[in-house]
Structure 1
Amino acid sequence: MPSTTLPYCPRYVPPPPTQENLDFADLAVIDLAKALTPEGRLELFPQVRDAFRTHGFIYAINHGWTQKQTDRIFDIANVPFTSVSADEAKAYAGDPKKDGYYQGFKTRGSWRLDSENEVFDQIEHYSLNRKVYTRSHPEALRPFLPEIEDFTHHNHYNVVHPILRLLALSLELPEETFVEKHRFDAAGETCARFIKYFKRSQAEEEKSKNVWLKGHADLGSVSVLWSQPIGGLQILSPDGKWRWVRHIDNALVINTGEAMEFLTGGYFKSTIHRVTQPPADQHAYDRLGVFYFSMPDDDVQLVPSAESPVLQRVGIEWCCTDDVAPNMEAWRKGRSAAYGVTPLKQGEKEGVEEEIISGIVVKHYN
């Protein structure tokens, strides 16, 4: 009989939530447990549809993991940044130009945040393909791979797939339309990612206007952030203002990305968000994040679901014609190789910079 004792992992203890009086976004809270039944999905999909159409973000509660399990995954998420030597980290460094997406370690200073002032990021992250044994991992992380594998399965089947069914219902499509484009065992780079945002000097904060990661959209379809109390995440609201995302214990913060915008003909937009310096009462802390970034299978062509009765009524926003639309593999490779290293051009609007990937304009927001 296998042992039920988990390997020892140092505790990660976050600070209390901020007490600052911040301008928080008013996001819908979705009871994901209702998505387990056909009746519940029929009740939920209008709420999810309207929330994603308005803000592009939702909170999800009752997602099937306990607070204890969530605390444990944050303990594990901190291991790559506290228990792996610099030399070993180099051996497991990712190469997005070669691999077509970040896997393994991303080191600090890889991304240029401000060309004029020569400001670079202070972000480290460690990414694992959803099939966690696809690649080897640092020694300190190996005892926890079975738990990380459980984590990726839970995110994929119990969070992302239910959300994809609700999005399909929103377009009056068969429930499995998008699920069939997100198969766990298919070729692709859907991943779990642990991210550590490290504190910066006052001089760096002034140069970057307190922005730690400039406004952007995720390149995939559905992104899952496991809520944690250190603030910093902000979303661009419909009125053009940046608003903070509030922490909710054991909740998920979910948003749509570029691939979903392509697949839905612009009906669900890729949501613009950024990371800034935490609130004043949390300035002393580094910020640890746990994510699951889902993408369609590599061979999925990123074209609108034109068979949708909803899209036939409201119209389709075409980013390009179907014959030149990239598949997911080409899109992720182009976006990953260029991010933070390709010089950007000033867009038509102030504070918006642009680059061209696969013939499609990608915008970045300062």
Structure 2
Amino acid sequence: MYRRRRRRKSPVEWADLAVIDLSMASTPEGRAELAPKVRDAMRTYGFMYVVNHGLTQAQNDRIFDIADVPFSQVPEDEKKKFTHDIKATGLYKWYKLRQYWHIDNGVRDQIEHYNMHREIVNQDHPKALQPFLPEIRAFAEYNHYNILYPILRLLARGMELPEETFVDMHGFDHKGEGWIRFMKYYPRTKEDEDKTKNVWLKGHMDFGTVTILWSQPVSALQIMSPDGKWRWVKHMDNALVINAGEAMEFLSGGFYKGTIHRVRQPPADQQGYPRLGVFYFALTDDDVVLKPLTESPVLQRDGIQRRWEDDSQAPTMEQWRRGRTSAYGTTQLKKKDDVVEEEFINGVVVKHWN
């Protein structure tokens, strides 16, 4: 059983994120009250906590125990059989083993993750994971229908659009991606920490619409606050950490922010432990064109921010996903200044923050 490490007190500066009670989203009155809170959270930090999502702490603990199985109970030779050519296909599938991504100064990552398309059951998986597939499938459906959809409805209301606007772009059984990811960070040597200035994963934006992270106690996630300062994301028992990605920023014409975040070495009292993560990454259907929803009264009043010259240049979700997945951690980045590095994907500048 994976034992979750309790976060101990450490002198770090926490981000002040909104806390959204998702149980209120079950009624029109509750959604009306929550919508401006979600709107403001996603326009400032681009991150928020979600509580009262419907799963218990025991269910939360159960999924973390399952999440450790692909790392602790699958032999290395079997792991290699379940790897995939990420760069060639632009698709996350099965394992991304350690040392695939270049972090900085010749240091490669110590991050292992196992990716499953949200369908889960009609796919091959390592033998040790197969008994848990029905539970993982149920978990994927819960994330999609009971967490993602209510959030998408609130985001639509924040733009004064019909509630189902974003929901209709995110079909569970439609052609497209969206996956459960189990992710494990392993401690690094002091030499690697020094070479990367303690950064485990550079500052970046997720490329989908909404990311659902199940909060876990080893602190490592930081977000860039509106004042340009990195602040830590604090653990809350049985809470979710929600953030918007680039695709949501594109669709919302810049109204919602794809927020910059990174992963770095934990505070001193938590160093030396592996860090296990559970994620649900949401993307629109593959054929959705990522252009601003100009019918939004909010955009008509406040203006539109585009990442390209005109909407005819906007990529589909599939094009953007493949480009971002293929390039991440493998391409030569152009150094803009002491902090920002850039690459071009489908005509759009993608930045990384060191």
The aligned amino acid for 1:332 is R
Match of 1:162 among 147, 150, 164: 150
For residue 346 of structure 1, report the CA deviation from its aligned partner.
1.3
1:288-299 to 2 correspondences below 5 Å: 288-299=276-287
Q: Which residue of 2 aligns with 1:85?
A: 75
Please state whether the residue corresponding to 2:2 is helix, strand or coil.
coil
The aligned amino acid for 1:50 is D
Aligned length: 353
Counterpart Cα distance in 2 of 1:29 and 1:350: 34
For residue 350 of structure 1, report the CA deviation from its aligned partner.
3.0
Per-residue CA deviations over 1:229-256 (Å, capped at 9, x if unaligned) read 0000000000110000000000000000
Conservation of the 8 A alpha-carbon contact between 2:121 and 2:134: no
For residue 316 of structure 1, report the CA deviation from its aligned partner.
0.3
Per-residue CA deviations over 1:66-116 (Å, capped at 9, x if unaligned) read 0000000000000000011111111111222343221100010001111xx
Q: Which residue of 2 aligns with 1:49?
A: 39
Conservation of the 8 A alpha-carbon contact between 2:214 and 2:241: yes
For residue 18 of structure 1, report the CA deviation from its aligned partner.
2.6
Counterpart Cα distance in 2 of 1:134 and 1:363: 36
Residue 106 in 1 paired to residue 96 in 2? Answer: yes
For residue 15 of structure 1, report the CA deviation from its aligned partner.
1.5
Conservation of the 8 A alpha-carbon contact between 1:18 and 1:231: no
1:188-203 to 2 correspondences below 5 Å: 188-203=176-191
The aligned amino acid for 2:184 is K
Q: Which residue of 2 aligns with 1:4?
A: none
Residue 335 in 1 paired to residue 324 in 2? Answer: yes
1:195-214 to 2 correspondences below 5 Å: 195-214=183-202
Match of 1:275 among 237, 251, 263: 263
Q: Which residue of 2 aligns with 1:3?
A: none
Q: Which residue of 1 aligns with 2:314?
A: 325
The aligned amino acid for 2:250 is F
For residue 345 of structure 1, report the CA deviation from its aligned partner.
0.4
Counterpart Cα distance in 1 of 2:272 and 2:328: 28
1:117-136 to 2 correspondences below 5 Å: 117-136=105-124
Conservation of the 8 A alpha-carbon contact between 1:18 and 1:230: no
Q: Which residue of 2 aligns with 1:6?
A: none
Please state whether the residue corresponding to 1:275 is helix, strand or coil.
strand
Please state whether the residue corresponding to 2:68 is helix, strand or coil.
helix
Conservation of the 8 A alpha-carbon contact between 1:18 and 1:279: no
Residue 184 in 1 paired to residue 172 in 2? Answer: yes
Match of 2:234 among 228, 246, 249: 246
Conservation of the 8 A alpha-carbon contact between 1:169 and 1:175: yes
Q: Which residue of 2 aligns with 1:284?
A: 272
Residue 362 in 1 paired to residue 350 in 2? Answer: yes
Conservation of the 8 A alpha-carbon contact between 1:119 and 1:208: yes
Please state whether the residue corresponding to 1:87 is helix, strand or coil.
helix
Please state whether the residue corresponding to 2:121 is helix, strand or coil.
helix
Please state whether the residue corresponding to 2:325 is helix, strand or coil.
helix
Conservation of the 8 A alpha-carbon contact between 2:44 and 2:257: no
Per-residue CA deviations over 1:249-280 (Å, capped at 9, x if unaligned) read 00000000000000000000111000000111
Per-residue CA deviations over 1:109-157 (Å, capped at 9, x if unaligned) read 001111xx20111000000000002421000000000000011001000
Residue 257 in 1 paired to residue 282 in 2? Answer: no
Structure 2, unaligned stretches of length 5 or more? none
Counterpart Cα distance in 1 of 2:53 and 2:140: 13
Conservation of the 8 A alpha-carbon contact between 1:96 and 1:333: no
Q: Percent identity?
A: 60
Q: What's the RMSD between the two structures over aligned residues?
A: 0.8
Counterpart Cα distance in 1 of 2:28 and 2:117: 31
For residue 193 of structure 1, report the CA deviation from its aligned partner.
0.1
TM-score of the superposed pair, with normalisation by structure 2: 0.98
Match of 1:94 among 84, 91, 103: 84
Structure 1, unaligned stretches of length 5 or more? 1-10
Please state whether the residue corresponding to 2:242 is helix, strand or coil.
strand
The aligned amino acid for 1:28 is A
